Homo-oligomer: A and B are copies of this chain.
Amino acid sequence: MSTTKASQSTTATASDENPSVTGAFGSCPLPIFDHPNIVMGHGSGGKLSAELIDKIFVQRFRNPILDRMDDQAVLEIGGMRLAFTTDSFVVTPLFFPGGDIGHLAVNGTVNDLAMCGARPLYLSAAFILEEGLPTQDLARVVESMRDAANAANIQLVTGDTKVVNRGKGDKVFITTTGIGIVDRPTEMSADRAQPGDKVILSGFIGDHGITILSQREHLEFESDLKSDCAPLHSLVEAMLNEAEANGNIKGIRCMRDPTRGGVATVLNEIARKSHVGMRLHESSIPVRESVRGACEVLGLDPLYVANEGKLLAVVAPQIADQLIVRMRKHPLGTESQIIGEITGQPRDMVLMKTSIGGTRVVDVLFGEQMPRIC
C-alpha cells in the first residue's frame, strides 16, 4: 500500500465533485441505485456488494483514502503509517469445527491489518447481543477472542455492548476494529500488479466456507473438515523478511485474504485495479478432495468459496521462488503454490487454464453464493 496522505478537507468537496448524488436526491427517490430493497446478495462480497458499496457509501463519503477501496485504510499521523480496519461478523452457527465467531472476529481483523504489511497493535470489539443468548455461549466466544488476541499479540483495549430484543438480532454479532503500524517501506496495493508478476496462494481453498455450510445444512461430507480460520500476520512477516533479504521488499505488490467471494473475487479486483490480465493454472490450485466433493454435490465452485486463513500475493518474478520456499517452512504456508501469472492482455480479466486443457473466464460472483459465512 502506498503512502496515503489524508486531508481533512477532502470530504467537504464530495457534493461538488459529484453533484448528482446529493443534488438529485430530494427530487428523485433513488437516482443511483436500482434495488428498492437490500437482498442477501448485497452481503456476498461479489458484484452486488460492490455496487451497494460504491453507489450508497463511496459516492457519498468520497475521499482519497476510501476511494482506494482496500480492505484497510493506511493513515499518516505524525509521520507514522497506521493501518485501520473494521469488520462485522454475523456468521451462523456461532461455533463450528476449527473456530467460532470470536476467533473469526479477531483473526479477520488481524488479517486485514497484515495484508497491508502492518504489525497488529490494538483491537476494539463491539457486541450486539440478542436477548436470551446463553451467557455461557458469550463467555466461550469471549475466551476464544482472548486466545486469538494473545496468539496474534494484539491487545483489546476498548469495547461496547448493546442488547436487542429477541427476534431482532441473531445471538451475537461482533464488530472488531484494528490499529496496526506499517513500519517497513512496503508499497502494497491492488493497483500495483505488473505483467510478468507471479500469483501466490498460501494453501488449500474453500475449507472455511464448506465447513460452515456443512454445519448449517447438517451435511456430513467428511468428518475431518474444519475451518482454516487463522492469523496470517507471522506468515506475512516471514514473507516481508524474505523479500527484504533479497533487497526487493517492493517486489511484494499486494496481498489479500480471499474471504467472502473467495479467490476468484479477489483476483478479479486486483486485475481490474491494476488494468492487467491474469492467467491461472487450475492444476496448481490446492483443493482438498473433501471440499471438491462437497462443491460438486452442492453445485459450487471452490474458487468462490470463503477462506479465513489463506492469503493471495502478487509478487515480482525475481522473488517468487524464494518466497514459496520461505512460506512452505511456515505452519500456515506448507502448501503454498504459484498458481498463475500476470499478463498484459486481455486486461481486467482472469482466465484459467483448466485441468483438462481448456481455458475459461473466471468472473466475479454476481450475488449470493453462501450468506453469513463470516
On A, residues with C-beta under 8 Å from B are: 6, 8, 10-12, 14, 22, 25, 29-30, 33, 35-43, 49, 52-53, 56-57, 60-61, 63, 65-66, 72-73, 75, 77-80, 82, 84-90, 92, 121-122, 124-136, 138-139, 142-143, 145-146, 149-150, 153, 155-165, 167-170, 173, 175, 177, 179, 181, 371-372
The 3 residue pairs across chains A and B that have the minimum distance between CB atoms = A43-B163, A175-B175, A73-B157
SS of A interface (majority)? mixed
Provide 23 A-B residue pairs closer than 8 Å at the C-beta atoms, listed in order of the A residue. Answer: A6-B121, A11-B149, A12-B150, A25-B143, A30-B139, A37-B132, A37-B135, A40-B163, A43-B129, A43-B164, A57-B142, A61-B149, A63-B155, A87-B126, A87-B160, A88-B162, A90-B162, A124-B177, A126-B175, A162-B372, A164-B170, A164-B371, A168-B169
B88 touches A134 (CB 8 A): no
**Chain B residues closer than 8 Å to A167, beta-carbon distance:** 167
A86 touches B175 (CB 8 A): yes
**Chain B residues closer than 8 Å to A57, beta-carbon distance:** 142, 159, 161
Of B11, B40, B84, B371, which contacts A158 at CB under 8 A? B84
Give bound CA distance, A150 to B12, whole Å. Answer: 6
Give bound CA distance, A341 to B106, whole Å. Answer: 43
B135 touches A66 (CB 8 A): no
**Chain B residues closer than 8 Å to A161, beta-carbon distance:** 42-43, 49, 52-53, 57
